[in-house]
Structure 1
Amino acid sequence: MNSVSNIDDPRFRITPVQQMAAACSGALITSFFVTPLDVIKVRMQAQSRITAKNKCFFYNNGLMDHICPCNPLKKNGSNGYYRNVPWFDRPSQFTGTLDAFKKISKNEGILSLWSGLSPTLILALPATIVYFVSYEQIRRSVQDLKKPYYDTKHNQNQPLWISGLSGCLARFGAATCVSPLELIRTKMQSKKLSYLEVHQALQSLLQYHGYKGLWKGLGSTLLRDVPFSGIYWVTYERIKQATAKPTFMYNFIAGCIAGSLAAALTTPFDVVKTFRQIELTEKEIITEPPGKASKWTVKAVIDIYQRNGVSAIFSGLVPRMIKIAPACAIMVSTFEYGKQFFENKNMEYYNKKIE
């Protein structure tokens, strides 16, 4: 059974501005709920020494990855490293996730669970808005080219390949747009610059890497995120078509299932992307002289498999799914709710005009 949707009916179709409002609301809610999970994860990693003092680490607020670099430190003639991320290196002694949640809340205050949220939202919100609005615009444009049939109940028959194609193109565009901003933000963080001094970070990158340097590392990101997006939207739309009237909870569950499947299938790309991105950050972004980072190729996945087996290329699968599944579920269900809200408003306005 195909899902009934008035959102794609030309008479009630929501505008790009309304899509932006729906995506923004979803992004804020998603980051609010998911950020504590990643704060706890990186704090536990710091405790177990998984992340060395002279290494960068990834932080994710449920919407996108952010690199937290380490800074070279010279004091009294000694060499060392420090991170400009105070919450990461706070003292801790946790026995598990629940214990970490209780102790951080009690000893440091409940707001400490949302440490690092503000600066990441500066990039996450625009990236999320661009991604979801692009997906909707591409999907509807391709669908209009096929001249979809609407019956009296506006029962829409949308081929799943449209969702897959739209998701891939939208992610390609959003990642390409955000990549220079992420590199600039990382450079600012490494040099402790304020957002008002963004031009200094931009000048530093351009001086040593040129304009092409603004998109360094993009290839590995695209090779992970584009397939993820295609798999996610095809799976989500397929599940959504199984009911005539998808509710908020139904969309939530569909988003969770789709996110889990996409995360599992793209984990090998995520493993290599993480290694390459950290390597790129340490060699190309934090250091002043231009370095020579390794090129990302599919051969990297094969090399990891040959050295350490299947378990290596799927390392981090469970934590990745635990984090991505709820993030996808919250984001898509709130986005769909926002679309339905604006569609109802458009329908009311349309009916008043024809009365």
Structure 2
Amino acid sequence: MTSTSLTPESTAVPNSTTTRPPPSSTTSRKKALTKSHFLSGGASGILSAVLLQPADLLKTRIQQAPPSGSATATLIATVRTIIRSDTPIRSLWRGTVPSALRTGVGSAIYFSALNTVRTSVAKSRLLPGGGDATGALKTGSSALPVLSPLGNLLTGAGTRAAVGYVVMPITIIKVRYESSMYKYTSMLQAVKDILRVEGFRGFFSGWGATAIRDAPYAGLYILFYEQSKKSLSILYSTGRKMDNSVAAMINTVSGAGAGALATAITNPFDALKTRIQVDPGRYRNLWQAAKMVVTEESGRMRGRALFDGLGLRIARKAVSSAVVWTIYEGLVR
């Protein structure tokens, strides 16, 4: 019987250099992940904007109306005018191109930036009570980095404010396209008119009101959304892996609920923002616009105009949030 000896050549020695991916591989994975969040956010944003453009247009028309008017009467009159026009369908979807462009670009930048910020915060442990650095709820419906409630609030608010400034020029064109006060026939005409009348700063009219609306909205939305997903995931799952259909249902319910609640809280800023962007000559800043809206009301509850369009905005935001976040998380899972 021949004995077999193990020589150094025949012994498998683990090579530590082969067990970890090279830096170039890690960089490629990060770029691919960022691209995935960018494209998923853009696709979900465009789809939501196109589907819900009529609600956004009607909301803008209600908010641009004089405070002394009735919101319900304005809505009915607007719908009648659109229906009686030569092109009612086209009129309802007026401003879809700038709206889809703004929402698509904004969502793409926002979701990719939000994931980057949340991942960095989770890894750095800057805020207490967060999750692990990988960011996945092992038995939950989320594919995003896990943070504490405070982390969700701050990262959502900060990222949204920064992205809002970047896409502000598109937002201005979108709002004025939807308004009945302007008769733009093309985006180029809108750009030329704004530059001629107001100069470059005209593209950033109402950014302060927009930031004051969007930052709290995004922060509150992420806070409510993640807490709702966590609670619903715990109710459904006790350690077992969650399938995609249940995860999508949880994300949809959480998105709709969080969108409706955050919208109701921040609607006054949205009403002021619309007035400043539609008529910057009349409403010069947030404080002056708020005073005018309240003092000019006649026979209506003081401050009620700050909630004009709330019903339409809640309906639109609830549906759009459910659609955008469900599609987004489904694509990046």
Same fold (TM over 0.5): yes
In the other structure, the counterpart of 2:328 is 335
In the other structure, the counterpart of 1:315 is 308
1:261 positional shift: 0.5
2:101 corresponds, among 101, 122, 125, to 122
> Structure 1 residues 117, 181: CA separation in 2 closer, same or farther (over 3 Å shift)?
closer
Q: Tell me if structure 2 keeps the 8 A contact 1:167–1:229.
A: yes
Matched ranges for 1:103-182 at <5 A: 114-146=93-125, 148-149=131-132, 155=138, 158-182=147-171
Matched ranges for 1:146-295 at <5 A: 146=125, 148-149=131-132, 155=138, 158-183=147-172, 192=184, 194=186, 200=192, 203-204=195-196, 208-209=198-199, 211-242=200-231, 243=233, 244=237, 245=242, 247-280=247-280, 283=281, 293-295=283-285
Matched ranges for 1:72-87 at <5 A: none
> Structure 1 residues 18, 224: CA separation in 2 closer, same or farther (over 3 Å shift)?
same
> Structure 1 residues 88, 203: CA separation in 2 closer, same or farther (over 3 Å shift)?
farther
1:240 positional shift: 1.2
2:45 corresponds, among 27, 38, 43, to 27
- Number of matched pairs: 268
Paired letter, 1:135: L
Q: Tell me if structure 2 keeps the 8 A contact 1:271–1:313.
A: yes
Q: Tell me if structure 1 keeps the 8 A contact 2:175–2:277.
A: no
| Distance in 2 between residues matched to 1:142 and 1:194, nearest whole Å | 42
| Distance in 1 between residues matched to 2:165 and 2:107, nearest whole Å | 13
> Structure 1 residues 270, 301: CA separation in 2 closer, same or farther (over 3 Å shift)?
farther
> Structure 1 residues 185, 136: CA separation in 2 closer, same or farther (over 3 Å shift)?
same
| Distance in 1 between residues matched to 2:274 and 2:92, nearest whole Å | 24
In the other structure, the counterpart of 1:59 is none
In the other structure, the counterpart of 2:141 is none
| Distance in 1 between residues matched to 2:331 and 2:52, nearest whole Å | 19
Paired letter, 2:285: K
Q: Deviations over 1:245-301 (max 9, x none)?
A: 461111000000000100111122222222222221xx3xxxxxxxx7522129827
> Structure 1 residues 203, 310: CA separation in 2 closer, same or farther (over 3 Å shift)?
closer
| Distance in 1 between residues matched to 2:330 and 2:193, nearest whole Å | 39
1:201 positional shift: 5.3
Q: Percent identity, aligned pairs only?
A: 22
1:122 positional shift: 2.5
| Distance in 2 between residues matched to 1:303 and 1:194, nearest whole Å | 31
Q: Tell me if structure 2 keeps the 8 A contact 1:227–1:266.
A: yes
> Structure 1 residues 312, 212: CA separation in 2 closer, same or farther (over 3 Å shift)?
closer
Paired letter, 1:274: T
Larger Rg: 2
| Distance in 1 between residues matched to 2:271 and 2:59, nearest whole Å | 17
| Partner SS state of residue 162, structure 1 | helix
Q: Tell me if structure 1 keeps the 8 A contact 2:99–2:171.
A: no
| Distance in 1 between residues matched to 2:161 and 2:292, nearest whole Å | 24
| Partner SS state of residue 158, structure 1 | coil
| Distance in 2 between residues matched to 1:157 and 1:191, nearest whole Å | 46
CA RMSD, 1 decimal:
4.3
| Partner SS state of residue 167, structure 2 | helix
| Distance in 1 between residues matched to 2:167 and 2:48, nearest whole Å | 19
Q: Which has the higher contact order (CA 8 A, sep 6+)?
A: 1
| Partner SS state of residue 210, structure 2 | helix
| Distance in 1 between residues matched to 2:185 and 2:307, nearest whole Å | 37
| Distance in 2 between residues matched to 1:253 and 1:217, nearest whole Å | 32
1:154 positional shift: 6.8
> Structure 1 residues 338, 214: CA separation in 2 closer, same or farther (over 3 Å shift)?
same
Task: Tell me whether 164-173 or 271-280 shows the greater mean CA deviation.
Answer: 271-280
Paired letter, 2:196: S
Paired letter, 2:211: L
Matched ranges for 1:35-74 at <5 A: 35-38=53-56, 41=58
Structure 2: runs of 5 or more not aligned: 1-25, 67-78, 139-144
> Structure 1 residues 135, 109: CA separation in 2 closer, same or farther (over 3 Å shift)?
same
| Partner SS state of residue 27, structure 1 | helix
| Partner SS state of residue 287, structure 2 | coil
Given the two structures, how large is their TM-score scaled by the length of structure 2? 0.65
Q: Deviations over 1:135-167 (max 9, x none)?
A: 11111111111185479x974752122211111
1:182 positional shift: 3.6
Q: Tell me if structure 1 keeps the 8 A contact 2:221–2:262.
A: yes
Higher strand share: 1
| Distance in 2 between residues matched to 1:299 and 1:118, nearest whole Å | 28
1:131 positional shift: 1.5
